[in-house]
Structure 1
Amino acid sequence: MLKKKFFKTKKEAEVTFEFSRDDIKSVALAGEFNEWSPLTMKYVKKDKVFRTRVRLPKDSSFRFKYLLDNETWENDYQADAYVPNQFGTEDSVVDTKKSV
């Protein structure tokens, strides 16, 4: 799940990435915004969700995926869009264009 916070005085948006599934022990976030280098997400026990926040430039879009247990790639079930990738699957997309 994606949650976005837009700032009036900054040219960036804070995006909260969340992933929840009962059968996994770790989740990392990787995408174009971090050169596909997996960033470990923190598990929030009370919400039963893995979560991290990233600041991204406004008016942009980025491909991303979650790496589950350091072995399986998974898309965000509520991404802004999905686009085909070079591996014959799809990548999730986060869009930082503020909706009117």
Structure 2
Amino acid sequence: MAITKKTLKVRPECRVTFSYQPNDGAAHRVELRGDFNGWGEDCLPLKRQRDGSYRVTLNLPKDGEYAFRYLVDDDRWDNDEAADGYVPNPFGTGDNGLLRT
């Protein structure tokens, strides 16, 4: 898993690319959920790449902080080891990744 960030010069935004790599190599449905999309109100599916990884890119306001996770096959939550940190989720079921832009 990986996260890349690029600050835009013409707008106060950061272009962030989230990449998810499943361990089993099988096809999955992977969604990015977090503070930036109401935890699923605005679905952000990741697109499968030729190498078997999944990817999505979005622009977020600069100097923000967002909790996020990947939802895999509608039943498993995964964190990204490239997150800037982790915060406990409000359900007491583990941590959410933290992204700083």
**Do the two structures share a fold, i.e. TM-score over 0.5?**
yes
Which of the numbers 23, 40, 44 marks the counterpart of 2:45? 40
Q: Percent identity?
A: 40
Q: Which runs of 5 or more residues in structure 1 are unaligned? A: none
Which of the numbers 67, 71, 85 marks the counterpart of 1:67? 71
Q: Show the counterpart of 2:89.
A: 85
Q: Show the counterpart of 1:27.
A: 30
Pair 1:7 & 2:8 matched: yes
Please report how far the alpha carbon of residue 70 of structure 1 lies from its aligned counterpart in structure 2 after TM superposition: 1.1
Please report how far the alpha carbon of residue 80 of structure 1 lies from its aligned counterpart in structure 2 after TM superposition: 0.7
Q: Which consecutive segments of 4 or more residues in structure 1 shift more than 3 A?
A: none
Q: Deviations over 1:46-78 (max 9, x none)?
A: x32100001100001100000011111111111
Q: How many residues align?
A: 95
Q: Distance in 2 between matches of 1:40 and 1:78?
A: 19
CA RMSD of aligned residues (A): 1.2
Give 1:8's aligned amino acid: K
Give 1:53's aligned amino acid: T
Give 1:63's aligned amino acid: A
Q: Show the counterpart of 2:80.
A: 76
Please report how far the alpha carbon of residue 84 of structure 1 lies from its aligned counterpart in structure 2 after TM superposition: 0.8
In the superposition, the TM-score normalised over structure 2's length comes to 0.88
Q: Which runs of 5 or more residues in structure 2 are unaligned? A: none
In the superposition, the TM-score normalised over structure 1's length comes to 0.89
